[in-house]
Amino acid sequence: MYRFLLTRLLNGMLVLLGVAVVIFVLFSVLPADPARMMLGQRADSASVAVIQRDLGTDLPVMLQFVKFMDDLSPLSYYSLRAEDPLYRDLQSIPHFQVYAASEGVLVFKMPYLRRSYQSKREVSSMLSERIPDTAILAFAAILLATMLGILLGTVAALYKDSWIDRSCMFFSIFFVSLPSFFAAILFAWLFGYILSGWTGLQMTGGWKEIDPFTGEYTSWKNLILPAVVLGLRPLSIIMQLTRSSMLEVFSMDFIRTARAKGLTGNVVLIRHALRNAMNPVVTAISGWMGSLLAGAVFIEYIFGWNGIGKLTVQALENYDLPVVMGVVLFVSFLFILLNIIADIINGWLDPRIRVSG
């Protein structure tokens, strides 16, 4: 199991390195100049040169890449000695761990995602403010999709070719085919406007609202509509995967053996069939969780949810490259982490996976 886990971690690190390289190459070849966008097209060349020097965009591309990778790396090397004043300054920084070497110092640090071109704030702090909102929305959506998807998929498999099975498959195909932005507009208009008197829901709003008299309060009802809309597509996929996987498992010999031993239907279903049918479902859930945590841009924008998706749209509108690059790297890290967790769960469910891995 340790070898299996080490292999997955190493593969994840290589994938993240490749993502960082691709991100830098894509954004370094863009024709727009951040300094011009910050100062305006009529800015004088001296001011543009100062901003370019401050941003580091005046350096050769290869040197920019080295600095970019050094910022992302948790380990950096500085040619300083212990008696250097900067060495003492590095030791005073909370997130830095400094180890002296003969000709310099090794510094263990948090990855630095640079600063926003527009607000001058660190991208990591901007992300930390938006992550809780997106995490709550994504977790609620995937929880709803997982519970209903596994339940309805199992029921559809148990009643194969019945009207229950056909109804589940109809709604599954319908929700998969329904565009997310159209579903968001439809649900917001129908349940947040037309039927708002019955539902008590609003078209827009975050989970934190401001009352002019009592101050900030938590409004969980604003989570209902975006979570339902965001969970429709993964719900459909999980339902279909559960149904097909359960039907495949029902036809296997060990299920017939378990029934021949006189085990009850619930024991056969839960202990034998459902556990062996969960591998593709767990993989799908991990992939969808990463997608939802990345921030459903249309969902957050339409419902006014203040998450990562909305931050990404604002950064793209302002050509705020460090924010966009930071969001992409963070999302890539989430995908890799969730895939590793899914591999571990699959290895626990089916020992053959970790043996072959």
Closest by CA position to 15, among listed 357, 339, 354, 261: 339
Length of the chain: 357
Are 96 and 142 within one domain?
Answer: no
Are 105 and 192 within one domain?
Answer: no
Are 212 and 295 within one domain?
Answer: yes
Segments in the chain forming alpha helices (H): 2-28, 34-39, 45-55, 61-72, 85-91, 123-158, 163-177, 180-189, 196-199, 224-250, 253-260, 265-267, 275-276, 279-293, 297-303, 308-317, 321-349, 351-356
Are 95 and 206 within one domain?
Answer: no
Whether 116 is covered by a domain: the verdict is: no
pLDDT per residue as tens digits for the range 21-63:
888 887 776 666 666 666 666 667 777 677 767 777 777 778 8
pLDDT per residue as tens digits for the range 205-263:
777 777 777 777 677 888 889 999 989 988 999 999 888 888 888 777 777 777 777 77
Per-residue pLDDT of the chain (357 residues; tens, 9 = 90+): 677 678 778 888 888 888 888 888 877 766 666 666 666 666 677 776 777 677 777 777 788 888 888 788 777 766 655 555 555 555 555 555 555 545 556 667 778 888 887 788 888 888 888 888 888 888 899 899 999 998 998 889 888 889 998 998 898 889 888 888 888 888 888 888 888 888 888 888 777 777 777 777 677 888 889 999 989 988 999 999 888 888 888 777 777 777 777 777 677 777 767 777 877 787 778 777 767 776 577 788 888 888 888 888 888 877 788 888 888 888 888 888 877 777 777 666 666 555 455
Distances (CA, A) of 351 to 267, 326, 344, 354, 357: 21, 37, 10, 6, 10
At 243 the three-state DSSP class reads: helix
Q: What are the phi and psi torsion angles at 338 (to 5°)?
A: -70, -35
Whether 54 is covered by a domain: the verdict is: no
Are 166 and 209 within one domain?
Answer: yes
What's the total number of domains in the chain?
2
Residue 148 pLDDT: 92
Cβ count within 10 A of residue 300: 26
Are 91 and 157 within one domain?
Answer: no
Token match 């900067």: residue?
Answer: 86
This prediction's pTM = 0.73
Whether 335 is covered by a domain: the verdict is: yes
Residue 68 pLDDT: 82
Whether 263 is covered by a domain: the verdict is: yes
CATH number at residue 282: 1.10.3720.10
Are 182 and 97 within one domain?
Answer: no
Residues 305 and 226: beta-carbon distance below 8 Å:
yes
Q: Which domain holds residue 98?
A: 74-110
Are 103 and 192 within one domain?
Answer: no
Whether 20 is covered by a domain: the verdict is: no
Are 216 and 341 within one domain?
Answer: yes
Whether 47 is covered by a domain: the verdict is: no
Whether 184 is covered by a domain: the verdict is: yes
